[in-house]
Structure 1
Amino acid sequence: MSDVLITNDAVIFGIIMLILGFVFYTSSSENPGWKKFYGVVPALLMCYFLPSLLGTFGIIDPSQSKLYFVASRYLLPASLVLLTISVDLKEIVKLGPKALIMFFTATVGIVFGGPLAILVFSYVAPDLVSAPPPNEVWRGMTTIAGSWIGGGANQAAMKEVFEVNGELFSKMVAVDIIIGNTWLGLLLAGIGYTKLIDKKLKADSSAIESLKQKMDAYQSSIAKMPTLNDYMIILMVAFISTGLAHMLSDMIAPFIAENFPALEKYSLTSGFFWIVVLATTFGVGLSFTKAKDLEGAGASKIGSVFIYILVATIGMHMDIMAVFDDPGLFLVGITWMLFHVGLLLLVAKLIKAPYFFVAVGSTANVGGAASAPVVAAGFHPALAPVGVLLAVLGYVLGTYGAWLCGILMGMVSP
């Protein structure tokens, strides 16, 4: 986009904050119209959707903006520290095995959903999934598998492993972003209907509710009127931890890449992977110290501010008009995602898993570390660590699962 209206990131960030401020102001309004609107559409979804219109209508060029990079590299790790600083690990363990079951179900849905989508279209519309070398559609789809199971590092790995050319890769990135982010939006929308969905699934969400109640009780017991001193200490802890995570990541990732290159397939050579792991580790470690009491001054609220900024920058990259560029590929991608979603709902129904585990298990795969804590925190800030831990597991399994998916797609392609 050479003719976009705004290219200055400072201006774009101002617009992003205007959008967030507008959503929060209207969502807390006593106006009957706004109450009715937000009774149907969650505020978190609006924080995600409205920024997408900036790129869709050519106001900005998201690919030229550095805001997502700043939010994901600086604000995300800081938020992970602040959201986990008061975590109760014992209570998270009590959530039981259903979180892991839904996570692996989501992974299986992606691994086998890709080959299934190719099989379906090889009979219905073979032209959509067949192309001469080196433009085979299945090769490009391996990069989507890498992104949907792990993340950007896994996606890049699949591009190299299966020798995906630039033109095909750019098309697959569009499919990945549009479908993945649309599904993220639907998951966020579903948070407002959690009780209804849980009732349909006949799910027992008592452990989740217990954790939320205990967290709320703890916050109330240590709550105080925060001072400037409190805010400075909270930000100090958050960004010292972020700085340490970056510093150690800059040492660990290159060391592993140089000495243990085979571990690249597990994303252990990815700097972003280590930033997320280390920031989470620091936050959990601090939860065993007096730093835990920073929650009383609003640590998780500041962490949530960072998360909402991240949500808006993620939304910026969703161009809802891109679906018309190559609609055939989007149909294949939608079929793939529907298998993933269908399998998730089936297993959730069988094991009576709450919607929280469905949403976070799926997002830990499809969205990764940038989205899983967002969705988890949408239920309650105390649940953000569950999303982080599952997203880290997704990074580890991403390349292996995507490679297996790629092999299967190659086998069934016409």
Structure 2
Amino acid sequence: MIHHPLLIILTLLAIELLILGLARYERTKSWFNLLPPVFWIYFLPMLAASFGLLDPKQPVYGLITTWLLPASLLLLLLSVDLKAIMRLGPVALAIFFSGSLGIVVGATLVFKLFKPLIGSQFWAGFGAIAASWTGGSANMIAVKEALAVPDQVFAPMLIVDTVVPYLWMALLIAGVAWQQAFDRWNGSKRGLIEELSNRVVEAGQVMQQRFSMGGFLLLLPVAVAGSGLSHWLGLQFPVVKDVISGYTWTIILVSLLGLALSCTPARRLEQHGASKLGSWLLYFVLTAIGAKASVASFGSALLLIAAGLLIIAVHALFLLVAARLLKAPLFLVAAASQANVGGVASAPVVAEVYQPGLASVGLLLAILGNIFGTYLGILCGQLCRLL
């Protein structure tokens, strides 16, 4: 068994680099079509710890999570373009937030329904899944730490977060065949699509990145300073027992700090690979979280997958009501839904399938989810706790 902190860090780094390398390599990337890299980055350290290769009780895991998670969130939010998101217009934003509200309400109601079967300790897990399905993986991990989700709760939730969004994406893509029929039935304002096309030209394109050692040395002090400042400020805010801790404040504040910096010249740090470094740090945090968990935690996954499907059903109902009231086309409904549930990796794909040339609409809506997902996940978790 590996006990030394430095050897543990090197082992976790090796696992992360191996998975990311295989996911990019042309001959092996198809291996991740069913289970994405983020799952294996979490699962392999869990296996290593469960079978005695890694010491799961080493304090180094907590140090990695405590300090690198805020740094990664800061870097990931630096590249947000608020002006481009606002150009999507009120209907697109209203549809997106209707879907987000459906996830929060759905997760709360489904937790109430399933609590006798899964146990009340899953309240924080439903908050984490709500964060992922209103934002993305970064939001899920942030809420996992902010709400102190137990590892035996988080592990099966990660399975749910892997299986359910893929099933939902398949249904959304299949729904493109019903696009014209839905828009006729709904009386959709098809002119909204042309307006969106005019508004988002060039808006969804990301900055050209030149990741280098010089860029890394420039980004590192920014990330460290932002993480340290957020930790210090988090300690200045009041702690409410069982509701909000000092680290919860840290996560909330570092997200606000990253968003604030995105409105300043600091946003140009994206040219040096800020979001790429943020993703690497986030995945490294995920390896540390996985190493503390146990394979036995996956036991309740099937029941939770059923709960996840019910959450998606409530989400879909909210979107349909909003689409009916706003006369929104199915393209916008599908793009907003996948932006919520799938995130930045898959929302542009669904948007492009429905309306070629408008992938950037899905991308911008997904980025909007990255901004709000952490807060909505914490809110959902607290609502479930009250039940």
2:187 aligns with none
Counterpart code for 1:77: P
Residues 114 and 141 in structure 1, CA contact (< 8 A), matched pair in contact too: no
1:80 aligns with 73
Instruction: Give 1:128-143 correspondences, 5 Å limit.
Output: 129=116, 141-143=119-121
Distance in 2 (alpha carbons) for counterparts of 1:317 and 1:65 = 9
Report how far residue 96 of structure 1 moved: 0.9
1:250 aligns with 235
Question: Which of residues 24, 28, 31 in structure 2 aligns to 1:28?
Answer: 24
Distance in 2 (alpha carbons) for counterparts of 1:280 and 1:322 = 30
Q: Deviations over 1:47-85 (max 9, x none)?
A: 2332232233333353x1335433432212112221222
Q: Where does the alignment leave 5 or more consecutive residues of structure 1 unmatched?
A: 119-128, 130-136, 157-171, 362-378, 407-414
Secondary structure, aligned partner of 1:321 = helix
Residues 109 and 339 in structure 1, CA contact (< 8 A), matched pair in contact too: yes
Instruction: Give 1:182-261 correspondences, 5 Å limit.
Output: 182-186=159-163, 190=166, 196-202=170-176, 214-217=203-206, 219-220=207-208, 223-224=209-210, 226=212, 228=214, 230-252=215-237, 256-257=238-239
Q: Where does the alignment leave 5 or more consecutive residues of structure 2 unmatched?
A: 129-142, 180-189, 324-332, 345-361
Distance in 1 (alpha carbons) for counterparts of 2:297 and 2:210 = 48
Establish whether residue 276 from structure 1 lines up as the match of residue 259 from structure 2.
no
Distance in 2 (alpha carbons) for counterparts of 1:300 and 1:81 = 9
Secondary structure, aligned partner of 1:50 = helix
Q: 1:273 to 1:174 in 2, by over 3 A?
A: closer
Aligned length: 324
Q: TM-score, normalised by structure 1?
A: 0.65
Q: Deviations over 1:158-199 (max 9, x none)?
A: xxxxxxxxxxxxxx95762332121123367x39x95x5542
Residues 111 and 401 in structure 1, CA contact (< 8 A), matched pair in contact too: yes
Counterpart code for 2:113: L
Establish whether residue 96 from structure 1 lines up as the match of residue 93 from structure 2.
yes
Distance in 1 (alpha carbons) for counterparts of 2:145 and 2:38 = 27
2:43 aligns with 49
Secondary structure, aligned partner of 1:216 = coil
Instruction: Give 1:276-355 correspondences, 5 Å limit.
Output: 276-323=251-298, 333-345=304-316, 347=318, 351=323, 352-354=333-335, 355=338
Report how far residue 248 of structure 1 moved: 0.8
Q: 1:388 to 1:292 in 2, by over 3 A?
A: closer
Q: 1:116 to 1:247 in 2, by over 3 A?
A: closer
Report how far residue 360 of structure 1 moved: 5.4
Q: Calculate the aligned-residue CA RMSD, in Å.
A: 3.9
Distance in 1 (alpha carbons) for counterparts of 2:216 and 2:227 = 16
Q: Deviations over 1:253-297 (max 9, x none)?
A: xxx24xxx5xx57x4x42122212221222222222222211111
Q: TM-score, normalised by structure 2?
A: 0.69
Establish whether residue 399 from structure 1 lines up as the match of residue 382 from structure 2.
yes
2:15 aligns with 19
1:113 aligns with 110
Distance in 1 (alpha carbons) for counterparts of 2:34 and 2:145 = 36
Residues 348 and 358 in structure 1, CA contact (< 8 A), matched pair in contact too: no
Residues 146 and 154 in structure 1, CA contact (< 8 A), matched pair in contact too: no
Q: 1:330 to 1:96 in 2, by over 3 A?
A: closer
Distance in 2 (alpha carbons) for counterparts of 1:393 and 1:72 = 21
Distance in 1 (alpha carbons) for counterparts of 2:245 and 2:343 = 23
Report how far residue 347 of structure 1 moved: 4.6
Identity %: 22
Q: 1:108 to 1:141 in 2, by over 3 A?
A: farther
Q: 1:291 to 1:180 in 2, by over 3 A?
A: same
Secondary structure, aligned partner of 1:59 = coil
Distance in 1 (alpha carbons) for counterparts of 2:302 and 2:74 = 39
